[in-house]
Amino acid sequence: MSNKNPAQTEDNRLNEHQSNDQFDINESSYKTSHAAVRKARRFALQGLYEWLMTDHRFEQMGQGEWKANPPHDIAARTRATNAMHTVHLGYYHTLMREIPEQITDLEALIAQHLDRAIDKIDMVEHAVLLIGAYELKNSLHIPYKVVLDEAMKLNTHFGATDAHKLINAVMDKLAAQLRTVEVEADTGTGYKHKKQQHSQQQQSQSADEAPMVATESASDETVEGSSAEQSSNEISEVSRQPKPRIGLKPKK
C-alpha cells in the first residue's frame, strides 16, 4: 500500500512537467519546435476561451466578486489533466499570462477593425484574435505570415465555418498596422509607393513645363501666320495687275 500523499504526487507531476520545459521561445528554437508552439496556441485558446466565459465576463458585467477562475488556475488544471510533454509549455504559459494582462490594449487594437462591438463576436473568434493580435504585437521573432496562417488554423480547428472571413480580414489589417515594414518589404508596397510618388513628381514637372512650350508654340504660329498673310497679300496684288494679251494682233 502506497503512503504517498496525493497532493505531493500532483506537485511532483507538475514539477516534472516544468523540468521538461526544454523549449526556449526564440527564433532558432521556433524553427525546430513549431509543432510544439502550435500545440501551445491550441491549449492557450481553450484556456482563454474558458477565462473569457467566466472571470473576464463577470468583470465586464460588473460582477467582480464572482471571479474565481483566474488564468493561472486554468493553466494549472490544464497541465494536471492533459499530457503536455509535446507542448511548448513556456509559450503556453506566456500566452495564458500576458494576454489577460494586455487584454485592454489587445481588444482596442482588434475593435478598430471590427464592424460590431467586440463583445458581440463569438468567444472562439475573440480568443483567436487575441492570440493573433498578441503575436503580431509582441512575438516579433515569428513572421507575420506565420501568425496569420496559425490564426486561420486555430479557427479551422475550433471556430465556426464562416468565421474565417472575419479572422482573415481583421488579421490582415492588424498585420499592416503592427508589422508595417515587414508587410511592405514582403509585398513590395513600399517600392510601389515610392515609384508612384516619383511618377507623380514627373507628371507635376511635365504639367509645369507644358504652358511654357504652349506659349512658344503660339508665338511661332503667330509669326508664321503673319508671314503667310503677307505672302498672300503680295500674291493678290500681283494677280490684280493687267496681264498682256498674248497671241492677239493689234487692230489697225
- CATH number for the domain that contains residue 138: 1.10.940.10
Chain centroid to Cα 116, Å, comes to: 19
Give me the pLDDT at residue 188, please.
78
- How many domains does one find in the chain? 1
Q: Examine residue 79 and state whether it is found in any structural domain, yes or no.
A: yes
Residue with cell 460588473: 62
What is the rounded distance in angstroms from the CA atom of residue 99 to the CA atom of residue 102? 5
Element (H, E) at 190: helix 189-240
Residue 36: CB atoms within 10 Å: 22
Q: Examine residue 217 and state whether it is found in any structural domain, yes or no.
A: no
What is the rounded distance in angstroms from the CA atom of residue 47 to the CA atom of residue 70? 10
Ranges 11-15, 67-71, 206-210: which has the least confidence: 11-15
Amino acid identity of residue 21, one-letter, is D
Residue % of the chain over a pLDDT of 90: 50
Give me the pLDDT at residue 19, please.
40
Q: Examine residue 44 and state whether it is found in any structural domain, yes or no.
A: yes
Q: Examine residue 1 and state whether it is found in any structural domain, yes or no.
A: no
Q: Examine residue 208 and state whether it is found in any structural domain, yes or no.
A: no
pLDDT, tens digit (0-9, with 9 covering 90-100), for 145-199: 999 999 999 999 999 888 999 999 999 999 999 999 999 998 876 545 555 665 6
Q: Examine residue 48 and state whether it is found in any structural domain, yes or no.
A: yes
pTM of the full predicted structure? Answer: 0.64
Backbone angle region of 143, left / alpha / beta, with phi > 0 → left and psi within -120 to 50 → alpha: beta
Helix/strand/coil for 61: coil
pLDDT, tens digit (0-9, with 9 covering 90-100), for 212-231: 545 555 555 555 555 555 55
